[in-house]
Amino acid sequence: MSATIDHTRFRPTTLEARAGPGPLNAAVVFWVDILLLCVVGLLFVLTLPRMLAHFSRGGGWRLGLLLRHTTATSHSDEQSVSSRRTLDRRSIITRTACSSSSENEKPAPTRVQATHVRSWQMLFPHMTHVLRLPVLGRIHLGGAVICVLYFSLLLFAALYRTSIWTNPVRAAYVAISQIPVVYLLATKNNVLGVLLGTAYDKLNYLHRFAGRLLVLAANVHAIGMIYRYTLQGRWMHVIAETDISWGLVSLVLLDILFLFSLDVVRRRMRNLFISTHVVASILFLVTVCLHMNAAVPYVIAGAVFYGLDRVLRMLKSRICTATLTCLPELHTTQVHIPKLNSGWRAGQHVRLRILSSGMGPYGWAEAHPYTIASASDGTVQEGIVLICKKAGSWTRRLYDIAAENRRGALGGSDVRVLVEGPYGGLGYTGPDSFSGSVFFAGGSGISYGLSGVQELLEHAKSGVGSVRCVDLVWSVHHPDCVRPILPFFAALLAESKAADIALGISVFYTRALTADHSFADLELPTGLSLTPGRPDVYSILVGLTMHATSSRDMFLGVCGPSSLGGTVRKAVRDVDNRRIPDTVGRFHLHEEIFSL
């Protein structure tokens, strides 16, 4: 294909005619999109074995899709909360659950083994460690490489057999061709995530990067065209034309999207970020079609992704009553929704709206993400439990409502809530297919630790999974943080007997003991330790590899601040570098970090 219009001398009448070598522009970006689709197809084929293994479990295809209420509970009394054992005070224990439990010595009952397919990170651990090195904020080397490759591809599309000086329209084609990519990556119900077994929040950095390239390309196009028309002395004439005016409106909308999604706005004025994003992104789809006919197919694709996501989000929304309880030691509010007791997987989160005037005039409009702290169909605690730390004004108001203690049905303050989800999670990784698991939690990250442990116990009790030992390591500021969670820990330890899993819970506190923060009156159950200082992650992992009896792999879950993720990542790298990888199992690391 070649250029059909001599755009240095044109006297155009329509936008397409003004546009220059339209067919080549359209063809280049079309084939770039086809190439992107091929890459996704290839990654999908590589993901397929894990996807099939996941779907081959009973009901695997519908795990973690819709929150619901199930009434059929076949839990025996001995498996229920009331089975908490006598609390038994214990001091520091430096052990791993695999090695210490005497129950571990008796032969384990036969369970149905969950199919285990190694992920790419486990097949090439050394390469994975390199790709996980942090580069910029939360972006790791692997993510940076993907961004560079993507940028190079779009640069190629912008420059192939043309130049931005002579053909600024190519940049417009590059921009419109990325509309489906940007809108797809923005969705919570993400088709790409389903194909690749990756949660939407893990792809969010790509949405931001692709969005910025789209804005950049649109601006390059606009500057080039304005420059050209001004040189020709025709700017005042063309600006009066409708399609050009819509082009300018589209540009303004894109620049609004960009400016109001900068980190500083996203973190400090989240409502402004969300409202401008929703309004401007919808208007942009309309105005860009009015500017450029060639945008229509791309806009349709983007609108389909966006519309489907909105419909699914409505289908995934539930309005119910929640009981709010203050946990002052943790500066958190516990949100308990007993009516929703099924339909999620450990590691998934919901978006929570509080429909109460106590949250302020617009409080109901804010949806905040929270990792579910209980297991689906759980016997330790039935229903969704969220642990919401006081972080800013919204969570402070939530805490204040809970502190009012308005004597709801469950003893806290009852409020109406809108819960949307579940989202995120582990994709096609099944922690019950490993031989053991360790959960590292920091502060309110205990939510994932609690649901992760509980889910493994539930699976083992129902005769599924190969997990024999589980460790939960929790870092907190003060030792009395353990107080509100203690009954939950005690119940989990009691349940672990029924599940025939060696469970160890280690709580580490970093602040000194004071009269206000002590645990002298606490009775700690066997299996729970309280230790000053930070956990020695490396030693814990070495302990696991030393006690590993086979080459089965271990699952590591991390939840909390990003610094904890960094510590665990480094420890995994050190252990992997120092042991003989073929004789013992490998680690699969999953991180849940509380920021988007």
Ligand X SMILES: Cc1cc2nc3c(=O)[nH]c(=O)nc-3n(C[C@H](O)[C@H](O)[C@H](O)COP(=O)(O)OP(=O)(O)OC[C@H]3O[C@@H](n4cnc5c(N)ncnc54)[C@H](O)[C@@H]3O)c2cc1C
Footprint of ligand X on this chain (CB under 6 A)? 201, 266-267, 270, 349, 367-371, 387-389, 391-395, 424, 444, 447, 594-596
> Nearest approach, Cβ of 395 to ligand X (angstroms)?
3
Beta bridge partners of 588: 555
> Nearest approach, Cβ of 363 to ligand X (angstroms)?
10
Nearer to ligand X, 22 or 424 (CB): 424
Q: How many CB atoms lie within 10 A of CB 103?
A: 13
> Nearest approach, Cβ of 267 to ligand X (angstroms)?
4
Nearer to ligand X, 210 or 354 (CB): 354
Nearer to ligand X, 211 or 465 (CB): 211
Nearer to ligand X, 101 or 198 (CB): 198
Query: Measured at CB, which residue is nearest to ligand X?
Result: 392
> Nearest approach, Cβ of 369 to ligand X (angstroms)?
4
> Nearest approach, Cβ of 217 to ligand X (angstroms)?
27
Torsion angle, CA of 430/431/435/441, rounded to 10 degrees?
170
Using DSSP's 3-state secondary structure scheme, residue 489 falls into helix
> Nearest approach, Cβ of 311 to ligand X (angstroms)?
21
Q: Is the CA virtual torsion 292, 160, 44, 131 positive or negative?
A: negative
- How far apart CA 380 and CA 78 sit, in angstroms, is 11
Q: Which residues have C-beta within 8 Å of that of residue 13, sequence separation ≥ 6?
A: none
> HSE-up of 250 (CA within 13 Å, CB side)?
29
Tell me the one-letter amino acid at 213: L
Q: Which residues have C-beta within 8 Å of that of residue 549, sequence separation ≥ 6?
A: 435
Beta bridge partners of 29: none
Tell me the one-letter amino acid at 255: D
Q: Which residues have C-beta within 8 Å of that of residue 422, sequence separation ≥ 6?
A: 64, 65, 67, 316, 343, 344, 345, 348, 349, 350, 372
Nearer to ligand X, 104 or 562 (CB): 562
Nearer to ligand X, 358 or 581 (CB): 358
Nearer to ligand X, 29 or 482 (CB): 482
Give how far Cα 321 sits from Cα of 115, 265, 335, 336, Å. Answer: 38, 32, 10, 9
> Nearest approach, Cβ of 148 to ligand X (angstroms)?
26
**The two three-digit tokens of residue 519, written as one number:** 């645990």
- How far apart CA 539 and CA 529 sit, in angstroms, is 16
- Host H or E run for residue 251: helix 242-259
Nearer to ligand X, 332 or 567 (CB): 332
DSSP state of 426: -
Nearer to ligand X, 95 or 270 (CB): 270
> Nearest approach, Cβ of 353 to ligand X (angstroms)?
10
> Nearest approach, Cβ of 588 to ligand X (angstroms)?
20
**The two three-digit tokens of residue 565, written as one number:** 């993720």
Q: Which residues have C-beta within 8 Å of that of residue 113, sequence separation ≥ 6?
A: 433, 465, 466
CA angle 34, 281, 355 (to 5 degrees): 125
> Nearest approach, Cβ of 273 to ligand X (angstroms)?
9
Give how far Cα 394 sits from Cα of 73, 270, 275, 596, Å. Answer: 35, 11, 17, 17
Beta bridge partners of 442: 475
Nearer to ligand X, 266 or 477 (CB): 266
Cis peptide before 431 (omega within 30 of 0): no
> Nearest approach, Cβ of 236 to ligand X (angstroms)?
44
Q: How far is C-alpha 518 from the chain's CA centre? A: 35
For the residues of 291-359, what is the DSSP string, one character each? H-GGGHHHHHHHHHHHHHHHHHHHHTEEEEEEEEEEEGGGTEEEEEETT--BS--TT-EEEEEE--GGG
Q: Please report where in the chains the tokens 């931005």 appear, as a residue.
A: 164
> Nearest approach, Cβ of 595 to ligand X (angstroms)?
6
Q: Is the CA virtual torsion 548, 550, 551, 555 positive or negative?
A: negative
Nearer to ligand X, 273 or 306 (CB): 273
> Nearest approach, Cβ of 201 to ligand X (angstroms)?
5
In degrees rounded to 5, what are phi and psi of residue 392?
-155, -155
Nearer to ligand X, 330 or 438 (CB): 330
Nearer to ligand X, 197 or 424 (CB): 424
> Nearest approach, Cβ of 367 to ligand X (angstroms)?
6
